[in-house]
Structure 1
Amino acid sequence: MRELIFHHYPNSPFSEKIRLIFGFKKLAWKSVLIPPVMPKPNLIALTGGYRRTPVLQIGADIYCDTALIADVLERIAPSPALYPAEVEGASRTLAQWADSTLFWTVIAYVFQPVAMPHLLGPLTPEQMKAFAADRAAMRGNAPRMSVGEATGNLREYLRRLENMLADGKPFLLGSAASIADFSVYHCIWFLQLAKPLASILDAAPRLKEWADRMAAFGHGEPEKLRSESALEIAAQASAAAADLLFVDTHGIARGERVSVTPTDYALDPVEGELLVSTDTEWAVRRTDPVAGEVVVHFPRIGFQLKKIQTNSGEQT
């Protein structure tokens, strides 16, 4: 198996989701630390513009978004399963809710002045200003939730999650952990980091015990790797063969030039030659002066595919 190279930073909640999956599956991985804010030149050389954290690299294949990264890790190490057959649909649906609705509610709640030093560490006023500007650029014109609204919503979500554990089962959907647990966990983990505000969890004691069980999976076997070394690995590797059924729902053929862009925030398009189009995934081939030829993969859900018109440069 080729090395799993994980680009992340310590306090990234979505990174914690994948780090814990590494532990769950007892995987060894290379740890590349990236800046929490732009610029991220070495990461962008690999992704072609995608700036969100984390990113998984396997040779010259670059995987974006934790929903897809989890699928990739499941293919590599299918046991223990992230998607137990009896709850696969429910676990994916609950995970999608946690990665969007629950996550943004937690973010709106914890990003209060009293908790910021616990989430970001000791920052100078200039660094704090840079972080705020970076996240504002990521969110763009997306609506902001007030602290009062976030507090009320979060209390209700915590009650619902507590209720899911009321019958004594160890995990949210039964006797085994699923992708739903890992997606909910990274939100609870980030809430726990915000120590002055974490007492909101006291009303959900079963959920706190569940979080301890999740944390016990650990982070697998990480080993540090320099970002420059990761670029060298990409440049020297070839992407895995993409002999997959091509599923066209856009009227775009394999080999045409396209852009892929998130639909919610950090709307930075990645352009390249469409190589993979399955029921669940897109991938584009692109060339970077430093990283060489790479294939950048995205999940369909949460991303938009557009054809680039070569005669005018406009997209359709």
Structure 2
Amino acid sequence: MTGSDQPILHHYEASPWAEVVRLALGMKGLSWGSVIIPSICPKPDLEALTGGYVRTPVLQIGADIYCDTLAILAALEARWPAPTLYPEPLGAGHRELAKEAGGATFVAAVAVALGDLPMEGMESFWEDRARRFGLERGQFLAMAPPLRSAFAAHLARLEAMLADGRPYLGGDAPGHGDLAHMMLIWFAARGSPFETVSGSLAPWARRVAALGHGRPEPMTAADAIAVARAATPTVTGGQVRVSVRQEGTSDPAVEGWLAREDMNGLTLIRHDPRAGDVAVHFPHEGQVVERL
């Protein structure tokens, strides 16, 4: 797999949602370009591709740029359908199972992961999160104890699901739901999940981790931008100019021509002096779309 056919992941090692995608790439046995991006803003090389979206991760396939884990996994499933991220008997129910790993449950995992970290050396991180998400360190630390209890309750629920001996949350095969919940444990344990789980969760976590990350190949941001510039987006056109921004953040909006909007999400066409013409794909969930 080379050139515009190779998936390229823009991520950083400690990113929790990037871990979901890395596991998906491993589950599908893919080789992929690995571009390491900053964990805090600014991210000028990433913005050359996305037009302003700065969350992590972002997946690139040629000149098609996928923002948000939901859009990324949908793209991987469409391009490389086997093995599926949505195996039976749960099937599409894996999406609902994965959804449970977001929202309040994810915030609880963040409290476990970050609640006892010292401020020293983390000043820029907390300033970035406060500016973008309103996550003030003092307020967050005050909420940490009940959030840790909530996370422990969530782990107990997962363990109860696995108590009947099933190898994965949805049955005999791993799926999106497993990857999302494994991410929570991985993140809460700061990359050492096997030290923090026991009972039926321990063998499950080892099975999911064994999916690996596929075959990452280091790539520079400049090389990824050159790949985009040399490729043609799979979606073109667009008559209406719109902006797309994410709920709950002060991150800049992405502006472009709306080329597609359907039940699967929306796509903007935009031009960048460095990356050329690119198609930026978003899911519907969590996006605010405004006509310009």
The alignment partner of 2:91 has SS state of helix
| Corresponding position of 1:206 | 200
Distance 1:284 1:151 in 2: 39
| Corresponding position of 1:16 | 19
Among 18, 22, 30, the residue aligned to 2:33: 30
Would you say how many aligned residue pairs link Structure 1 and Structure 2?
A: 286
| Corresponding position of 1:261 | 245
Q: 1:264 Cα shift? A: 3.4
Q: CA RMSD in A?
A: 2.2
Among 178, 186, 190, the residue aligned to 2:187: 190
Distance 2:56 2:254 in 1: 15
Among 225, 228, 242, the residue aligned to 1:234: 228
1:99-145: per-residue Cα shift (whole Å, max 9, x none)? 333211100222123x46xxxxxx9x4x5211110111221379957
1:173 aligns with 2:170: yes
Q: 1:86 Cα shift? A: 3.1
CA contact (8 A) 1:166 1:206 kept: yes
CA contact (8 A) 1:191 1:198 kept: no
Q: How does 1:118-137 map to 2 (within 5 A)?
A: 125=120, 127-137=121-131
Among 82, 88, 91, the residue aligned to 1:88: 91
CA contact (8 A) 1:46 1:288 kept: yes
| TM, length-normalised to structure 1 | 0.84
CA contact (8 A) 1:106 1:191 kept: yes
| Corresponding position of 1:313 | none
Structure 1 pair 90–76 and aligned structure 2 pair: CA distance change class (3 A)? same
Distance 2:235 2:93 in 1: 31
Q: 1:77 Cα shift? A: 1.3
Among 3, 6, 11, the residue aligned to 1:3: 6
1:158 aligns with 2:155: yes
Q: 1:162 Cα shift? A: 0.7
Deviates more, 1:54-63 or 1:139-148: 139-148
CA contact (8 A) 1:51 1:266 kept: no
| Corresponding position of 1:295 | 279
CA contact (8 A) 2:113 2:190 kept: no
Q: Which amino acid aligns with 2:30?
A: L
Q: How does 1:73-84 map to 2 (within 5 A)?
A: 73-84=76-87
Q: Which runs of 5+ in 2 are unaligned?
A: none
| Corresponding position of 2:105 | 102
Q: 1:155 Cα shift? A: 1.4
| Corresponding position of 1:54 | 57
Distance 2:200 2:252 in 1: 40
1:180-233: per-residue Cα shift (whole Å, max 9, x none)? 0011111111122276x997x44x421122111111011111111110111111
Identity %: 40
Among 211, 218, 221, the residue aligned to 1:224: 218
CA contact (8 A) 1:280 1:301 kept: no
Q: Which runs of 5+ in 1 are unaligned?
A: 117-122, 244-253, 309-316
